[in-house]
Amino acid sequence: MDASRIKNPDLVNNLDEGQLAWYQYISPITSHFANQITQRNYRGKRLAYWGHITGQNLIVMMSALKQAGAEIVIGACNVDSTDDVAAAYAASLGIYVFGWQGMSRSDYQENLAIVRSFEADYLCDMGGELCVAYLDKKPPVKGALEATTSGLHLLKKHQLPFPVFDWNSIPLKDLHNRYHVGDTIWPAFNQLTGMSLYSKRVLILGCGPVGKGIAERARALGAVVLVTDLNPVRLLEASHLGCEPVSLEDGLIRSQIIVTATGIEGVLGEEQLLKVKPGTILFNAGHSNREIDIDWLYQQPHRQMKAHIEKFDLGDTYLFLLAQGSLLNLAGGAGPFGMDQFDHYTAVMLLGIAWMFDGIPDDIAPGLQRYPMHLEREIAEKSIRIHQGTDVN
């Protein structure tokens, strides 16, 4: 590879030593393990990362792996979520980076092809697309990590010739999805729109961990929360949280704010979007920016109201779309908020990558596998000690 494809390499000058130290301070768990990993020899290890390009993921985690000698290429898993300063910082370390805020879909696909050409031996994926791109590699990669519900849906459609360690399904990721995403979504909404949630009717599509967290937080902020899900057990749980279970059709015509959090593409298409109340505000909190059919939506008359807010005229109704359908807490230009809450999330990736580098046990078969439980426990134990004040970096 000859060069990174980022917005502006000079943006690295926007980071000074104090800011880098602050990233480490608010990421004590990741920083602890990063300090250990910098002492290892990972020369010859080749990693391809397809995920969000953010300060949390790159400045502490990737710099440690690079310092240990790993060869790394990074691609953005979302067209809108890249922190261009973090991308410039990673590129300044000699990491190849492919992504910038506001990419086109063709840019995205070109970057995925470039990252695939790296011929990595290990993958760290968010969304499953990188794993699928590497299915034809001979010999197969040695192992991969997958972080999202969207990615698991995609990977289950394929026969995998290498092990993919699923950390979307572990309890630590559930904690992140339920409590951290919910806690960061609504500050982004408030800052972007200038609106509160008090007395607003909010419909949450999907009552998995992400949807539950968003629903609980919205209710605490004064919203009247409606929830729809295909799973009746989840709807029953939502009712115990003080939310009202509804059908999708009923929720669409009653709500002022609609949030998708399913991990499945195409849950809101033309038929559903034409039923919303006039003036509905619509945004996505799931990994895929295709949970809403934005391809159809952008064929309708629309105009920009302000940064990251667009109005779409749909005949007898109209709606406002936030952040082009990308996940709001990372792609809405209003944060990120609660950066310290991503610390466990980044530590899971970092320890998982290092564990694969150190040698995946021979008895682990190809296909989807559970993320190693002992690594999860190690992260949780470290976190508890830090929060108790009995263990500091």
Q: Sorting pLDDT into bands at 50, 70 and 90, what band is 301?
A: very high
pLDDT surpassing 70 at residue 247: yes
- pLDDT at site 55: 84
Q: 222 with 195: CB under 8 angstroms?
A: no
pLDDT in tens, 25-69: 989 999 999 999 999 999 999 999 999 998 877 788 999 999 999
Residues 165 and 287 in one domain: no
- Residue 4 placed within a domain: no
Two tokens, residue 87:
């991308």
Expressed as residue numbers, the domain containing 100 is 9-172+339-388
Phi, psi of 225 (to 5 degrees): -105, 125
Q: Assign residue 95 a region: left if phi > 0, alpha if psi is -120 to 50, beta otherwise?
A: beta
pLDDT surpassing 60 at residue 334: no
Two tokens, residue 375:
């690594």
**Beta strand extents in the chain (DSSP E only):** 46-51, 71-76, 96-98, 122-125, 143-146, 163-166, 201-205, 224-228, 244-245, 257-260, 280-284, 302-306, 309-314, 317-322, 367-370
Q: Sorting pLDDT into bands at 50, 70 and 90, what band is 338?
A: low
pTM of the entire predicted model: 0.88
Q: 324 with 224: CB under 8 angstroms?
A: no
- pLDDT at site 390: 76
Which CATH number goes with the domain that contains 286? Answer: 3.40.50.720
Residues 49 and 16 in one domain: yes
Which CATH number goes with the domain that contains 49? Answer: 3.40.50.1480
Average pLDDT in the 72-78 region? Answer: 95
pLDDT surpassing 90 at residue 198: yes
